[in-house]
Every structure is written in structure tokens, then in C-alpha cells.
Structure 1
């Protein structure tokens, strides 16, 4: 199922997300036409129940699609939109799903009763934001928020603040849903896809770039760096699959934290090695590599951060009376397929 979904989605997505398109999105160009073309592919309703017009897939099956979006460099919150539409439809708010992209973020209290969502990836490009707030989900219009540009992608991401929860166009009980766990799982899958693309870019460049009359990929020092890059990228993919291994929509918080932590650790090495191999050309505005490495660094900084994920796992381990081995065996294993 994953291979079929990945192939059917990746090919048209690659045609839509050309290098020039990615640059214009990062520069703040309108994204309505791009989103409409992506939405028309039909995958944004993948998690919505079949009875409500969707495909009824699980988060486990969505992994392939989010991975493909990350690999294509899509700056719009595709995975978040798919999850948000499923949550809205399940709560009876299917008519509120809208045609635009929806970001997902945990809300924290701001001044004078306001709601703040910090460092929302794609927050400046989203039409709405599904915010977890005091046991509820609030669907808030992005254009009613005060936006502070993000550090890594100032035209695409933002910290958003609404002065009151009453601006929500829909609100419903969050139940057992965890916004941070959802973001961890989705961001880890996107990061894995982005690192897979970086691996392709670096490998192709090392084969083509010649020094002293032969490709630099033939030098042992470069081969060592490429092997480390490949190990890190593939380990992030395996971890992201674990984080998205839920049979429903909501991931296991510990598995999602494990996936995000491994992806963040891998991203540090992947970005450093990629720019070392490319040299100065990799940091130029014209080269596509920077679009991916900036996104990876941004994902590392957004909730949940490496520190937050490590703290969650550490506290869970300390609460496990049977020690590390049983904690990993019993709590960090993917659930069995039905």
C-alpha cells in the first residue's frame, strides 16, 4: 500500500514542485494555484472516513504521502491538512474543512487571554490553523492572527497570535488527541523525506564534480561522509515510520517523540555533511540544497523540540520499573498490524 501511494502521489507532486516553484514559494509568492493543484490530486482527504467522502486511511498509510511531500520540498502543510480534515470531519465539522491548507499547532497562553502558536511550519501559508487549547480543538483563521515571521523561512512560517479564542470558526472536544504528538509524527516524516532528497542531491553532485581529474565520490574521505549521510537519512526514515505506525489518526506520543528526536539528531549530521560536500555553491540562493537544509533546521526548532522529546522519553523511562530493555521492548515497539 505504501509503495502504491508513494508512486501515485510522488510523480505528479514532483512535476508541481519544481525548483523554481519552491523558490517562489519561499520568497512569498501566492500559493493558491499550487495548493489547488495538489488538493485536486485527492490525497488531502486520505484520512477522512469513506462514509464522509475520504479514503479512510490510517496515519501508518499517510506516512508515504508526507514523506513524498517532504522529499518534493513542498512548503505547504500537506500532512497537517490531511489530519486536520479527518479530525474536523469526525467531529461533525466537515463543512468547515475548506479548500485551503490547514496547519496544526499547540496553543499556549499569551497576554490578556490571547492564544499563541509558536514557530508554526507553513503557518504563513495556511488558510486556517487547528489549535489545541485547554482540552479543545479550535479552528482559527490565519488572517485574523498577528504574525511574526519565522527565523528560517520568514515568508512561509510564522509565530501566530489570536487575541481571543472566540475567533474560532469551529471548536470541539480534543479527547485523547495530542497536538504535539501529531506534529512530532508528521514533522519526522517530512524530515525523513527531505533528508532522502538531500542524499540524492549530494550523491549526484559527488559523482559529477571532478577534482584532480576524477569524481570526488571516488575519494575515500568523501565516501566516508556519504556513507554517514546515508546511514543518518535512512535511520530517520525508519524512525519516522515508527512514529506514524498508528492504525488510526492519533500517534503514540512516545513513538512520535522517538521519531522526531531521531530525525532531529540525523538532520544535524545530514545538513553539515551536505554543505561540506557542496562547498560554497550549496549556500547560494540559486542552489536548491539550502531550501531543504533550512526546512530541516526549522523542523528541529519547532514544538516538540529535541529537548522536549528527550525529556518526554526520559520521564517515561524513569517511570518504568523494569528498566531500559523492557521499556524499549514494550513501549517503543511498533504495534502489530491487524
Structure 2
């Protein structure tokens, strides 16, 4: 079923996200039309129960779809919207057709609510945040938006003057937007790195120097092999972060592990890719920068590397009788679905 869903999603996705469209959307043009076309495919409702028009998928089922969206370069928050709609649907709330970003609450002063550097917030209709053991749905219309550091026309720091601007509040013990962002941003980075790897291999095959393709030089081959190793590790880590056997909420420790490992890979992958491409990789004419900027943005938003490491370290120290090996073996593993026994 997953393969069928992926094929049905990725084929039109690649047509919609050609290089020119990606550049236009990153410049703030045509985002509404692109989102309408993506949403019309129906996959943004995949986590909703069948009674609500969805497919009842779990977060682990969403993983290949979210990975494909990131690999294609979709600049809009596809995975975030899918999860946010499922959370809202659990409370009987219909989110509407717009995109929804997800962000942890960064600051609350004098009634103001602030979410910093939210990926996709400049193009989203709402931001879903966690506050006081509840999910709050905040509209971006009427909010103050400051351009993001890495993608100023796509992402933004969002400020609301009052909590009264919330259009929905869903009580949920342990509501944790940072954990959701850790898992989903890890998938985003993994998919972007897959695309960066493909761009690097293509360029090294096509670019010729001293009469042969630069990919035939041992130094370049070594760099690309390290890049491929890091990408493979990132994809596995991202899959682990979405390994909830049922439902759409990730395990906090698995999500932190995924974000920490993909962030570590992202720095090396971006550096190697730009080294292989040389000067052309930083030009507007090449799409490499569109993907490496996302890596740096996702690394520095929501659960940063230091926050993820602190969460994992705190959990380890809370189990003084457990060794590091035992902690990794028992706490940092995906749940396995129960298998029915015959006889």
C-alpha cells in the first residue's frame, strides 16, 4: 500500500516542483496556486481517519511521502499540514484547505505570543503551536511576520498580539510541538540531502576537467562517497524518528535522536556538495542553494542540536542504573507492531 501511495504522490509532485517553480515559490510567487495543486492530490489528509475522508495512516506510513516531498523540493509545509490536520480532526475541527506550519512557543511577554523562524510560516495560513498542555491554532493573517534568516520569502518569525487570536484550542496532555518538529524536520533534511546527493553525482558526471569527468578523480569520488554515507545515515535516522507504530505523534527521544543525527549529517553534506560544485553551486541559476539553505534552516529551528542532545542526556541520567548501551538498546528503538501467531 505504501509503494502505491508513494508512486501516486511522487509522480505528479515532480511535475509540479520543477526547478523554475521552486525558484518562483522561494521568491514568494505562485505559492498559493502550487499549494492548491498539491492539496488537490489528497495526500495532505492521509492521516485523517477514513470516516473523515482520509486514509487512517500512521506517522511511519507518512514518512515516505514526506521524504518524497522534501526530495522534490516542495517549499510548503506538507508533512506539517498533514499532522496538524490529524490533530485538529481528533477534536472534531476541520482545518480548511490552507497550509499549516508547526512551531514550539518561543516567547510570551505581555500577552504577545512569538514563534521564531518557523519554516513555511510566510506561506502558511495557520501555525499550530503547543502551549500549556494544549494545541493552539493561530492564524497568520493579522499576525506580524518577520522574514526568516535563510528563506525570507518562505519562513518567518511570527508574533501575535494576544492569545485571543487563537482560532482553536485543543487540550492535550503533553502537547509538544518541538518533538513534532524534530521528527518532521529530520525527514525534511533527509529528503533534501537525497536531492543534494543526486545533484552532486550528476554534476560530477557531466563536468569535465583535464579531458575527463571530475567524478573520475579519486578525491572527488572520496568526497561523494562520504556524502552518500551521511545521506544514508540521515534517512535511517529520520525513519527512526517517525517510527510510531500507530498514530501520528512521535516518541520524543526517537525524534530527538533523528534530529540530532540528521543535523550532524547536514553540515557535512552541505559542505561537500558545495565543494564539488564549486562557484556554480552558490549562483541563482543552480538549485543547489535552495536545498542547502533548507538544511541550515531546519538545523537551527525548533529543537536545535544542543536541545536534542540535552533531552537525550537528561533521559539517560534519569536512569542511573542503565548503561549507555542499555539505554540505546531499550529506549532508542522503534516499536515493533504485534504479529498474530497462528494456532
For the aligned pair, the TM-score class normalised by the smaller chain equals: over 0.9
Secondary structure of the structure 2 residue equivalent to 1:143: coil
Equivalent residues of 2:316, 2:322 under 8 A apart: no
Please tell me whether residue 336 in structure 1 is matched to residue 340 in structure 2.
no
Query: Is this contact kept in 2: 1:132–1:174, CA < 8 A?
Result: no
* Structure 1 residue 229 corresponds to structure 2 residue 199: no
Relative to the length of structure 1, the TM-score reads 0.98
Question: 1:177-196 maps to which residues of 2 (within 5 A)?
Answer: 177-196=175-194
Q: Deviations 1:283-329 (Å, cap 9, x if unpaired)?
A: 00110000000011100110111111111111111222211011000
Could you tell me whether the CA contact under 8 Å between 1:122 and 1:156 is conserved in 2? yes
Could you tell me which residue of structure 1 aligns to residue 149 of structure 2?
Answer: 151
Aligned twin of 2:341: none
Alpha carbons 2:138, 2:165 under 8 Å: kept: yes
Who is 1:171 aligned against? 169
Q: Shift in Å at residue 46 of structure 1?
A: 0.5
CA-CA distance at 1:150 after TM superposition: 0.5
Correspondences of 1:240-279 after superposition (within 5 Å): 240-246=238-244, 247-279=246-278
**What is the aligned partner in structure 1 of residue 201 from structure 2?**
203
Aligned-pair CA distance for 1:53 = 1.4
In the TM superposition, 1:73-152 aligns within 5 A as: 73-94=73-94, 97-152=95-150
Shift of residue 337 of structure 1?
2.2
| Preserved contact between residue 138 and residue 165 of structure 1 (Cα < 8 Å) | no
Shift of residue 127, structure 1, vs aligned partner: 0.5
1:274-285 correspondence to structure 2 within 5 Å: 274-285=273-284
Q: TM-score, normalised by structure 2?
A: 0.96
Deviations 1:196-215 (A, max 9, x none): 00000000110111111111
Name the stretch that deviates more: 35-44 or 167-176: 167-176
Q: Give structure 1 stretches of 5+ with no counterpart.
A: none
Unaligned regions of 5+ residues in structure 2, if any?
339-343
Match of 2:310 in 1: 311
Cα distance between partner residues in 2 of 1:121 and 1:285: 21
CA distance in 1, matches of 2:205, 2:175: 46
SS in 2 for 1:44: helix
Contact preservation (8 Å) 2:131, 2:175: no
Distance in 1 between residues matched to 2:162 and 2:205, nearest whole Å: 55
Shift of 1:133: 1.3
Q: Could you tell me how far apart the structure 2 residues matched to 1:122 and 1:33 are?
A: 15
110-119 or 219-228, which moves further after superposition?
110-119
Q: Give the alignment's Cα RMSD to 1 decimal.
A: 1.0
Contact 1:91–1:172 (Cα < 8 Å) also in 2: yes
Q: Matches of 2:55 and 2:137 in 1, distance apart?
A: 23
**Aligned match of 1:35:** 35
Structure 1 Cα separation of the partners of residues 296 and 143 of structure 2: 25
How big is the shift at 1:134? 1.4
1:3 deviates by 2.8
Q: Specify the SS of the correspondent of 1:161.
A: strand
Note the alpha carbon deviations across 1:172-212, whole angstroms, 9 max, x for none: 10223321111111110111110000000000110111111
d(CA) in 2 for partners of 1:56, 1:28: 33
1:325 is matched with: 325
Please report how far the alpha carbon of residue 109 of structure 1 lies from its aligned counterpart in structure 2 after TM superposition: 3.2
Secondary structure of the residue that 2:141 maps to in structure 1? helix
Distance in 2 separating the partners of 1:176 and 1:54: 25
Cα distance in 1, alignment partners of residues 200 and 79 from structure 2: 26
Q: Residues of 1 paired with 2:107 and 2:285: CA distance?
A: 40
